[in-house]
Amino acid sequence: MPRLVSIAAVLIAFLPASLAAQDAAAPSSRSAQAAPAVLARHGMVASQEKRASEIGVDILRRGGNAVDAAVAVGFALAVTLPRAGNLGGGGFMLVHLSRRHQSIAIDYRETAPAATTSDVFLDQNGEADPARSRDSGLGVGVPGTVAGLALAHRRYGSGRFTLAELIAPAIRLARAGVPVEDDLLDTLTLLGGRLVRWPSSARIFGHADGTPLTAGDQLMQVDLAETLEAIARQGPSAFYRGPIADKLVAGVRTAGGLMTREDLRDYRAVVRPPVHGRYRGRTILSMSPPSSGGVHLVEMLNILERFPLRSLGAGSPAALHLMIEAMKLAYADRAEYLGDSDMVNVPLTRLLSKRYAATLAAQIDPERARPARDIRPDSRALHDGANTTHFSVVDRFGNAVANTYSLNFNYGLGLVADGTGVLLNNTLDDFAAKPGAPNAFGLVGSAANAPGPRKRPLSSMTPAIVLARGRPVLVTGAPGGSRIITSVLQVIVNTIDFAQPVAEAVAAPRVHHQWMPDHVVVEPGLASATSEALRRRGHDVRIGPAAGSANSIAVTPAGLVGAADARVRGGLAAGY
């Protein structure tokens, strides 16, 4: 059993503004609560769901490495955290292998079907139609999770476990059922209607009378167990070819989508070099495009390195103002330049450079907010008005994994492909339907992120590993749609600049600005005096959800310290 060490942390719970799309927070309103950190000597897993964390720790205890544990956790979360854990979505895994001195970014983001056109989400008048990308099969991307987890196991696992052995715990949970409690209860209570509108989903997530499962019920997922068993026997080809693939395609096309058997057959996860940065003597590793997360995390840190944050104080109006101004500048660049780097030219060298950051930092007034329109007045984004989860793993060998994966909305499209148990994503809403048209998280983009055949939509997922002298000292990441990057930024700044223990760094109230719309969202836990001080600097401050569940691990001289972010119920940091 993990040894618990109480490290003071006050955690804020909040209600999402848009329940289906808001993959940041638990869709329930709960009082603030203290969350103990966990101290362990040999291995640690921090995830959004306790059973999945325990499965990962068991793999570590039995001699597996961080990648083995991450693969087991990834499959388990598809069963125990169905609003975000998945087989029918995609994501990114960042791996640091200590003995090889090697860092790898595994891109298993969903791809658009080959028949996708640039105007697929426009109505007859050429305007963006959100229902097409969010509520129909047109929003379903070709799932990458199974391919990504299998690739991670094959190339970077310890060799002590077969893929079938890592999937086995998920199969047992799917067949035995999991109790409807904690985050599962919260999300089904508020979002069950999105599921039960589809008969194939209603049979799993609802009662015979059409109402969603509730407290005291068991979520049984027999079809999902059989899909997992097929993958365990045959490998990922069981998912991408044959009867399961046929059922996935049938589900998507019945809902009006474009996916074909050929799209599934041709899907590939991709190994990419991570984004690298340096911040106050530490190395920052994060995800490269098609995620915007790593690029703009490093960009913001490069800007903030020009300012003495530590002397300003954690949570001070002066420090928060500087972070907000850096956020605006980075998100303006995101809207203009970022897309699938396999399809468009992304100016990574410039965006990641210290020299460029210096020019941006020089534009920041330490006393006054800059209007968003003044940052990029010529942007087409000004012409027009979830669900994700993150887990972190560190093993006794010094290897580390930061993994973020998603269905986009809570429960994705809400549609289970009949006979598979697989919830389908609506990730293609992350494309810019047209330049300047906001997606469900209010993010705008340019033609660089337009829909296209086999293109990967831009993401904000930001799995991150911080190294000191070549060794991991922090593994972090978060869900939260557009708020992911700023959540990860603040965890890193809190630990490096303000020397906060990881539990406090994770628990601290967060702020968020994404350039457009031009307002700052702050969590309810931020002191009212601080909010007023930001308003006096010219910020339009609004109270609301600003962060996700940033499940993090710090590597310290005392051992591994895990912090499960209690902004949602049911998370767990566990170690041995």
pLDDT-based confidence at 345, cuts 50/70/90?
Answer: confident
In a domain, 316, yes or no: yes
Beta bridge partners of 401: 95, 393
User: In whole angstroms, what is the distance from residue 147 CA to residue 214 CA?
Assistant: 33
Q: Give the Å distances, CA to CA, from 165 to 14, 227, 231, 321.
A: 38, 15, 11, 49
In a domain, 72, yes or no: no
Provide the CB-side half-sphere exposure for 53 (13 A, CA).
28
Span 44-55, average pLDDT: 98
Please tell me the pTM assigned to this model: 0.92
In a domain, 238, yes or no: no
Span 499-516, average pLDDT: 95
Span 120-129, average pLDDT: 91
Task: Characterise 224 by phi-psi region: left (phi > 0), alpha (psi -120 to 50), beta (else).
Answer: alpha
Instruction: Of 125-129, 170-174, 282-286, give the lowest mean pLDDT range.
Output: 125-129
User: In whole angstroms, what is the distance from residue 495 CA to residue 493 CA?
Assistant: 5
Burial (CB count within 10 angstroms: exposed 0-12, middle 13-18, buried 19+), residue 550:
buried
Span 356-373, average pLDDT: 97
Residue 56 pLDDT > 90, yes or no? yes
Copy the structure tokens of residue 100. 């090889």
Residue 3 pLDDT > 50, yes or no? no
In a domain, 170, yes or no: no
Q: What is the pLDDT of residue 8?
A: 28
Any idea what the CATH number is for the domain that residue 490 is in? Answer: 3.60.20.40
Please write the tens of the pLDDT for every residue from 137-147.
Answer: 999 999 999 99
In a domain, 321, yes or no: yes
Q: 553 or 548: which carries more pLDDT confidence?
A: 553
Please write the tens of the pLDDT for every residue from 457-475.
Answer: 999 999 999 999 999 999 9
User: In whole angstroms, what is the distance from residue 461 CA to residue 472 CA?
Assistant: 20
Q: What is the pLDDT of residue 18?
A: 36
pLDDT-based confidence at 442, cuts 50/70/90?
Answer: low
Residues of the domain holding 40 = 1-50+90-139+270-576
Number of domains in the chain: 1
Residue 478 pLDDT > 70, yes or no? yes
Instruction: Of 167-181, 366-380, 545-559, give the lowest mean pLDDT range.
Output: 366-380
Question: Which one is catalytic: 145, 388, 462, 476?
Answer: 388
Q: What is the pLDDT of residue 294?
A: 96
359 catalytic? Reply is no
Span 284-300, average pLDDT: 96
User: In whole angstroms, what is the distance from residue 31 CA to residue 6 CA?
Assistant: 19
Q: What is the pLDDT of residue 44?
A: 98
Helix axes 317-337, 484-496, angle to 10 degrees: 140
User: In whole angstroms, what is the distance from residue 398 CA to residue 40 CA?
Assistant: 13
Q: Which amino acid is at 436?
A: G
Please write the tens of the pLDDT for every residue from 273-283.
Answer: 999 999 999 99
Residue 322 pLDDT > 80, yes or no? yes
User: In whole angstroms, what is the distance from residue 155 CA to residue 100 CA?
Assistant: 13
Residue 21 pLDDT > 90, yes or no? no
Span 559-575, average pLDDT: 95
In a domain, 211, yes or no: no
Q: 131-156 burial string, b = 16+ CB within 10 Å, else e?
A: ebbbbbbbbbbbbbbbbbbbbbbeeb
Residue 25 pLDDT > 50, yes or no? no
Q: What is the pLDDT of residue 434?
A: 63
User: In whole angstroms, what is the distance from residue 172 CA to residue 176 CA?
Assistant: 6
Number of H helices, E strands in the chain: 20, 24
Residue 268 pLDDT > 60, yes or no? yes
Residue 20 pLDDT > 70, yes or no? no
Give the CA-trace dihedral at 440, 443, 449, 452, to 10 degrees: 10
Give percent above pLDDT 90 in the chain: 81
Q: What is the pLDDT of residue 185?
A: 96
In a domain, 85, yes or no: no
Question: CB 28: neighbour CB atoms within 10 A?
Answer: 18
Mean pLDDT of the chain: 90
Span 433-461, average pLDDT: 74
In a domain, 575, yes or no: yes
Q: What is the pLDDT of residue 460?
A: 92
Residues 6+ apart with CB under 8 A from 221: 79, 82, 174, 175, 177, 204, 421
Judged by DSSP in three states, 196 sits in helix
Span 387-392, average pLDDT: 92
Residue 445 pLDDT > 70, yes or no? no
